[in-house]
Structure 1
Amino acid sequence: MSVHAPADLHAPAAAGPAAVDAVTARATRTVAVTVPDWPLLAALDRHQRRLEAAAGEEDAPAPVPLDLAAVPVILLDQHRVTHAGAAALEAGVRPGMTRRAARAACPEALVLEADREQETALFELVAAAVDTIAAGVDVLRPGVLLMSARGPSRHQGGEGRLAERILDAVADLTGWDCAVGIADGPFAALLASGPGRIVHEGRSADYLAPHPIQALRSAPVGPGWGHRGQPSAARPERRLDLAETVDLLQRLGITTLGDLAALPSAAVADRFGPDVATLHLLARGQEPAPPAAHHPTQPLLAETTLETPLVRTDQAAFIARPLAEQLHAMLVERGLVCTRLRIVARTEGGEEMERTWRHDGALTVADVVDRIRWQCDGWITRARLGGPATGAITRIGLHPLQLAPAGENAPALWGSAGEAAQRASRALARAQGLAGEEAVQVPALVGGRLLADEVALVPWRSEKPERREGPWPGALPRPVPATVFRDPPAVRLEDAAGRPVVVTARGLLSGAPARLLVLASGAPALQRAGLRAGSGCQVLAHAAPVVLDERWWARDGRRAARLQLVVRGASAEEVAVLALSRAGEWTLEGLYD
């Protein structure tokens, strides 16, 4: 079987949007490995092995492998054609046909039935072959692998060399041809894998622009799309289908991804809703921001040791559900959901095998059960089909790799998931369309030492700024004040004799605080707390000051100090405040609830 390097590895970008914004430049450099018509190849492999087994029982000659270019082959799923070989396509068979129509178009065609579990198990051979070149392979779905390009390309001596090594490994170890594409973001990488291209960094938008709008059918969109078997959040009474959306865009005169990308973002979100707005983001060469990662204080692990080693695929069904329910209970207890899962197995010989699975939205117990069963079946099948011998599996563990707060994926109490969020999204998009992008802003955590520096306001649906990782010596420990002032109001802190209280060079207070005076009218939150302009509040208690030395080694370094106080407001209620001193002047950073 001949293997060729990807054609036109560094092809110049096609005509399209010239400007690529900062979001595209920071998109994840992704490798997509695809096996064209994988469900058809897997079904054909299953059919061929059945023929070989029957021939072996009858001592007959081994059957000749079928050639898709010469023998018409059709794959059916729920009585409709999903894939057809070259000979069947030439005879007039098309995906979407019913069984009867396909039979009428090509009576001599070999008809096979789709088997999702067998497709998944057999695809482990391809994943294992790619694993020999680079670790960290994620299975998006049977037939498609994704991986980060940064580390492996440096190790292999460049992205072109990495693509060649993957092609050779899959062909040598499995006998199948695969395609490799490398680009910024998974969508551009998936489209680039068809012709086997490597798109220059920062040029994904230009590469995507001339593609027909039908390319959106393979978009890696999230939950809420009917073709993923999930109901639409925007229209709970029906399913939102990619084919229907593509047809609508075509009827509106949008024929290429470049046409879609040229539309204003606010107008797309207002007219079509957030699901199509995500497609618009992909067409512009960008990628949706991943869910905010959540890192629990203790790593989560669900693991079981098997009393009877696992050597048959039917055994996996019995151990999968208890293990999945154990992981689900741990996540529910912590209020988390898992969107990326690693399955690890240990054999009798001490060998460890692992595979990572991605998923659109939260993984349910049924999703985890399916992936455990598929993966165990894949490892066992790999050895049975001539791959590396695995031995009996004695231990299986589940490692959640990507966690998010459960509220971001939980369904609403009444109706489908996120109906209120969908209505709010439309309202915010409408406001942006009327008043401009800056009219609707949302907070984004960026990191910093002071409370006002930790959060930045950015336009809704825009790229969030990168988080500045700490450590931040002197940062306020949690819990932080519930109210943080963007413009801290000025205050005066006095002792019992009316003298100003300051923080000395040694980090001590010059006197015991007795009175807090609000110098000017501040935010409404101050008024509600009873801290009115010109009024003095009795200090009931205070903590020790915390000195902040910012860039103490430089001339532009700043020195500040924090002080937590409990004061009595005008309504005789006790109010906890956080004061900040700079150059002898006090301001209020925030109010505690």
Structure 2
Amino acid sequence: MSAAERVLVFWVPDWPIHAYLRDHAEEVAGDSAADSAADIAEELPAAIAVIANRSVVACSAAAREEGVRVGLREREAQMRCPELALRPHDPEVDERRFAPVLAAIEEIIPGVEPRRPGLCAMRARGPVRYYGGEEPAAAALLQLAETLELEGVRIGIADGLFTAEQAARAATTTPGITAPRAEVRIVAPGGSAAFLSPLPVDRAAPGEFAEVLTGLGIRTLGALAALPEDAVRQRFGAAGIAAHRRATAIGPAHGVEVRPRTPVKEFAVELSFEPPVDTAEQLAFTCVTLAERFIAGLAEEHLVCTALRVELTDDIGVRHEREWAHPRRFTASDTVGRLRWQAASLSQDSDRGGAGVTRVRITPTHTDRAAAHEPGLWNTEPDERVHHHLSRAQNRLGHAAVGTMQLTGGRLLTNRQRLLPWGTTRTRPRDARASAAGPWPGSLTGPVPSRVFAEPLPAALLDTTGTEVGIDAEDLLTAAPARLRVSRTDFPDPVQHWSHPWPLRERWWQGAPDRVRLQLELADGDAWLLFYEEGKWFAEGRYD
């Protein structure tokens, strides 16, 4: 069993509050220059708490002064602080906002292990040797925190990861703590056991296990550390051994405590222009090398890009951002094509005052393993020649000039059609009810007509006497149909079979008219899909 190594812990208390303020600042700022989290905090109530499962996950300093604590029930927190502003907790926002902080720390101290959003750890030996001591290493991290506008940061340095975390949480007056700065807590080498001894046992043991230990009279970490390890193993098993080793501040039995993550490689590329580029063709030509470098960087890691974000910043600081998806994988030419289309769609208003694009940034938003996109033995992807010719036609005619159809939700057949530009992945609607598989009362459930008219054709349904057939108040035909006329064309073959008419009523609150649909078949086998609206028949489709 080895001695615990020196560990340095970087902690931002109440990180969910910091993450919420930064996310809220970005939403408020929009495309303009973003305000700092401190500026946004001035616009919000001072007492803020984020809530999950009706309990407080984190709270601001002002809320804590009013008695709000982590774990408090939502109603109890509002009783203690009536001015408390409650916000829902989003763990994804916590992780996303802490990722840039981790990347910034890795630039000055490599080998960082993220413990949770707001807390990370690193071995102290390397930073101490580089900066000349534990206090200078902590000062470098505090300077970085000031640059990142992080308030209330604490640094804990001690033997072992657990002791360093507890040191970061401790007060400057806690016995066993040396505080060269208000934000730094250092436990001297060999002093971890004395520092941990008076701490409550629930710091090292899970909740239920801590209750068991308390019931047995073991209320502090010192009391737990005084027990023989063999006795703890026989009585409490693996959970007891883990808590006992934290209390005794000894190193792990095998391996190391701090396991640094593999730094995330930055695949985004950008290019600045001086003077600005004012045409889409010039921009595309200039960015050919940038696109090739972007694809090559992914290929080095055996990755392909299936979705990317293009950011174009003009000379007056306005940022034009759009995300592009690809049904297969992006190549350099595909990336240049998206740049060209996005640049061509920018406003060309002369009163705008801008002279062109000054910066281009390409960021992959979704990547995949290159092996997963290799063609199989029976490949179902579009033929390479088809993709090549359609892409060339699209480059000449525009992004939306070449497309494929996608089925969407709707009751009328024309509402179910959506044209997707070639090279754009099929998207799912945000509302599941708007999908093609969603519930659509009154929609056609049987075979779909092979021909669907973009504009319904006027039609007339006649009985044997030549009188027009209509729909009565009970949604039934007023007479048996005998003849069909579509766009002034009288079909000589009589109507042989027809379905029971069924109503189609939607958006009545918006004044949409009632419709009744009908399928019929002529004697020669020709079949039609009709609907009746405001006293008139219309042909919606034809079964060829």
Structure 2 length as normaliser, TM-score?
Answer: 0.44
Structure number with bigger Rg: 2
Q: Which has the bigger relative contact order, CA under 8 A and spacing at least 6? A: 1
Structure 1 length as normaliser, TM-score?
Answer: 0.41
